[in-house]
Amino acid sequence: MPKPPTDNLRQVAAFGRAAVAGGSVAAPLPDDVEVSFEFFPPSSDGAEANLWNSIQRLAPLNPKYVSVTYGAGGSTRERTHATVKRLLDETNLLPAAHLTCVDATTQEIDAVAQDYWDMGVRHIVALRGDPQDSSGRYTPHSGGYSFACDLVAGLRQIGDFNISVGAYPEVHPEARSAKADMDNLKRKIDAGADQAITQYFFDTDVYLRFVDQARAAGIWVPIIPGIMPIHNFTKVANFSKRCGATIPRWLGDLFDGLENDPETHKLVAASLVAEQCRTLHAFGDKQFHFYTLNQADLTYAICHMLGVRPKHPVGSDADDRTNKKQTG
């Protein structure tokens, strides 16, 4: 069994939140933060240009990895594959490919995973996946992996992947209970997952309680907070209703009246999420996974306030060399 971490919430619990967080957000910039970025594959030429502009903007921040989301079947799967391949071929970034159980046999999923391994991909984000039909209910494929824990076990038979799985501080919307959801996370870890990336959240206390509960359940792998920069509060609020992420009243108050003021909206959003991350850092979290929505500016600004900055000035020749592999 993995050794319990010495720098996590158990230490903090002895002193309490106020003692740790009292002056933490205004403390000197951290110098030990690691970040990763999630992108989704483009659906058009214009979207592809926007995606690669965002990747090039964020690449100088030297993320630990960048993940690419995955849809079951058809062009979505192919676009994921093409994006991952281009990341490998044209950048020095380490791609993490999403893989789901939805609408595919075990042989089909294994073939995709083997193809990723042969390409040089060593990190998989293994997820059950969302229902593909209008019922909104997930039904396992009769010849496929039923759940993420089964997918993790299957991946372990293919290669020595670094495997991330999902975790839900506010409970997965389809889970019978919080305990059932935690039991499911434990099954994924026991099947061989190396770390868990959480659904985004806005109440840090919810996340901190969740990590305490996971540790109590015997889950000692890293739990990485998923961070959502708020590009459009109305859209985020609507999406959060569907995925079970709570929008605290104070959050709505901060964005009230900014529907037609995008510049102020950006300033509020960057400050808010940077403060969230700085608070989590004070509790021992040193890695953050950003759901970029293929938009770079807010994520870049938040990283700047976390002390994550380019080694070379943006736009310099040296910076360009960090983004693109040399040829010839």
One-letter amino acid at 105 equals: T
The count of other CB atoms within 10 Å of the CB of residue 70 is 23
∠ Cα 262 267 272 (to 5°): 120
CA distance 172 to 184: 10
Tokens of 260: 């037609």
Name the catalytic one among 38, 48, 174, 275.
Answer: 38
Which residues neighbour 265 within 8 Å (Cβ) at sequence distance 6 or greater? 230, 232, 233, 255, 258
Q: Identify the helix (H) or strand (E) that includes residue 86.
A: helix 74-90
Report whether 162 contacts 122 (CB < 8 A). Answer: yes
**Whole-number Å distance between alpha carbons of 179 and 196:** 17
**Placement of tokens 């959801």 in the chain:** 181
Annotation marks residue 259 as catalytic: no
Catalytic residues: 38
